[in-house]
Structure 1
Amino acid sequence: MSNLNSGRDIKNLPDLKLALVQTTLVWHDPAANFAHFEALLEQARGAHLIVLPEMFTTGFSMDAEALAEPEEGASYAWLRAQAKRLDAVITGSVIIQAADGSHRNRLLWARPDGEMLHYDKRHLFRMAGEHKHYSPGERQVQMELHGWRIRPLICYDLRFPVWSRDPHDTDLLLYTANWPAARRLHWNRLLPARAIENLCFVAAVNRVGNDGKGHPYSGDSQVLDFQGEPLLEAQAGDGVLHVTLKATDLAAYRERFPAHLDADSFRID
């Protein structure tokens, strides 16, 4: 299927305020991470969408059997409470044992009205053995916030342009990650490519600090426009970063440079 052919008028959408939380994570200690993020989230007030890193309660761990929460567990409750408290959507991924018994690297999308949506990571990082401990997601998911169409993805998904390719008239691609410093060059080159090829904004949140295996993370959280130009670059800092996206800019660019009209049709099996 080709993308951006819905005829939807996006120029009248309100501005979208994002808050990206780039920080260290306490290894295998959800309670400590909840407390740490609660303090940081005070700096995110006023945002419509607050984005946390991948596996924000534990760090990127393969100890799924010991760390997995049930559906509707502690992270569900905590995210719901924070979303209500801050009147914003809050999202990030955690280790979940699904109803079918499988373990999932699951992005939770907590709305302030209490509704919880999710996306399960499709591409599992085999170089760390993630595919041996988790089951992959089967479908792309699109969220809507104030009329904006947002598609969440997780870390290693970034390397796969077919899965990242937009058949859904997406306005914002959202990546949450634990992307190691050793491959920061790839992170910083692939993110602009995803923005350019999909003619949409891209926001990406990564962690900083070292994990329990000693792997360092360089951060580099960023927000890019539809031409791959940076609107926000975090580098290695620790804290909450704010940016506002303007749908009028996106609509004007798509009208001026309608490459989507020549997009190839495709199907994902």
Structure 2
Amino acid sequence: MKEKLSVTSIQSHLHWENPVANRKLFSEKFNSISEKTDLIVLPEMFTTGFSMHAERLSEETNGPTVQWMIAEAKKHNTAITGSLIISEAGNYYNRLFFVFPDSSFTSYDKRHTFTLAGEDKVYSAGVEKCIINYKGFKICPLICYDLRFPVWARNTEAYDVLLYVANWPVKRIVAWDTLLKARAIENMSYCIGVNRVGLDGNGHEYVGHSAVYDVLGAQISTPDFEKEFVETVILEKEHILSNREHLQFLNDRDTFSLT
């Protein structure tokens, strides 16, 4: 029997720059998930919203939010992922954590900091791609603005799932919809995008459009795009393997090295 992975996307508003309120918010949403799930995906900077105030909002890796993620992952027997503001060795990072049910975790630092909002002036950029092995699936987690850079996402590792967490505003939501689908098609992988809704403290509006696409670019999630929702979809390894074997598009990809 081929592996399956159940993934729950949580599209939510966020309390502006209020980690305590946001942890409480998501704990309540976790409790509302009725079926067993293997992975819960939260938006980018899910404890604060997309803030440039890292000096007063950052946490250390062993801080309250990562400890909360560990406790919730253990409680619900599921993996949890999302990004938050981290301080390390005098630098700030927009860092995604992937916390496993056994309390271990791995992390990914956002490679492409969003210059339009001045993220590059506050946060240090990551330099390494991250591939996570979980329940028979290889997952590549990326963050928001990374979506615009297909070379960084290129499937040279034979990953199965490409995953984006985001605070992607309504003004450019067409790009979000288009690029998520494109990343799925060109990499022959499932592509998951989890965005937020509501207004942030800077007056920017977010309308979600969180979605899951299969390896051929068909949307397999069915939420109301612009409202809060919690939805679980099932990813099937057989869908990936059979389509790759039949079409063999990845065999013809270009070879290159990143510098």
TM > 0.5 fold call: yes
Aligned residue in 2 for 1:105: 94
* C-alpha separation in 2, matches of 1:117 and 1:83: 13
Aligned residue in 2 for 1:29: 18
Structure 1 length as normaliser, TM-score?
0.94
1:195-236 C-alpha deviation (Å, 9 max, x unpaired) = 011011001100000001111101000000011110014301
- Contact kept, 8 Å, 1:219 with 1:237, in 2: the verdict is yes
**Identical aligned residues as a percent:** 44
| In the alignment, structure 1 residue 47 sits paired with structure 2 residue 15 | no
> Structure 1's 13 and 72: CA in aligned 2 closer, same or farther, altered over 3 A?
farther
Q: 2:163 aligns with which of 162, 168, 174?
A: 174
Query: Unmatched 5+ residue regions in structure 2?
Result: none
| In the alignment, structure 1 residue 249 sits paired with structure 2 residue 253 | no
- Work out the number of aligned pairs and report it: 257
How far off its partner does 1:144 sit? Answer: 1.0
| In the alignment, structure 1 residue 195 sits paired with structure 2 residue 184 | yes
Q: 2:134 aligns with which of 133, 140, 145?
A: 145
* C-alpha separation in 1, matches of 2:116 and 2:222: 28
Aligned residue in 2 for 1:73: 63
Aligned residue in 2 for 1:267: 257
How far off its partner does 1:239 sit? Answer: 2.1
* C-alpha separation in 1, matches of 2:190 and 2:115: 28
- Contact kept, 8 Å, 1:13 with 1:148, in 2: the verdict is no
Task: Give the stretch that moved more between structures: 44-53 or 147-156.
Answer: 44-53
The code of the aligned residue for 1:51 comes to V
Q: Secondary structure at the match of 1:41?
A: helix
How far off its partner does 1:62 sit? Answer: 0.4
| In the alignment, structure 1 residue 15 sits paired with structure 2 residue 4 | yes
Q: Say what the alpha-carbon RMSD is for the aligned residues.
A: 0.9
The code of the aligned residue for 1:264 comes to D
> Structure 1's 233 and 177: CA in aligned 2 closer, same or farther, altered over 3 A?
farther
* C-alpha separation in 2, matches of 1:132 and 1:170: 32
Q: Secondary structure at the match of 1:92?
A: strand
How far off its partner does 1:43 sit? Answer: 2.7
- Contact kept, 8 Å, 1:226 with 1:250, in 2: the verdict is yes
* C-alpha separation in 2, matches of 1:39 and 1:259: 43
Aligned residue in 1 for 2:228: 238
Task: Give the stretch that moved more between structures: 229-238 or 79-88.
Answer: 229-238
Aligned residue in 2 for 1:85: 75
Structure 2 length as normaliser, TM-score?
0.97
1:91-146 C-alpha deviation (Å, 9 max, x unpaired) = 00000001x22100000111111101100000000000000000000100001111
The code of the aligned residue for 1:26 comes to H
4+ aligned runs moved over 3 Å, structure 1: none
1:20-73 C-alpha deviation (Å, 9 max, x unpaired) = 000000001000001110000113351101000000000000011111101210
Structure with greater contact order relative to length (CA < 8 Å, sep ≥ 6): 1
| In the alignment, structure 1 residue 228 sits paired with structure 2 residue 213 | no
Q: Secondary structure at the match of 2:221?
A: strand
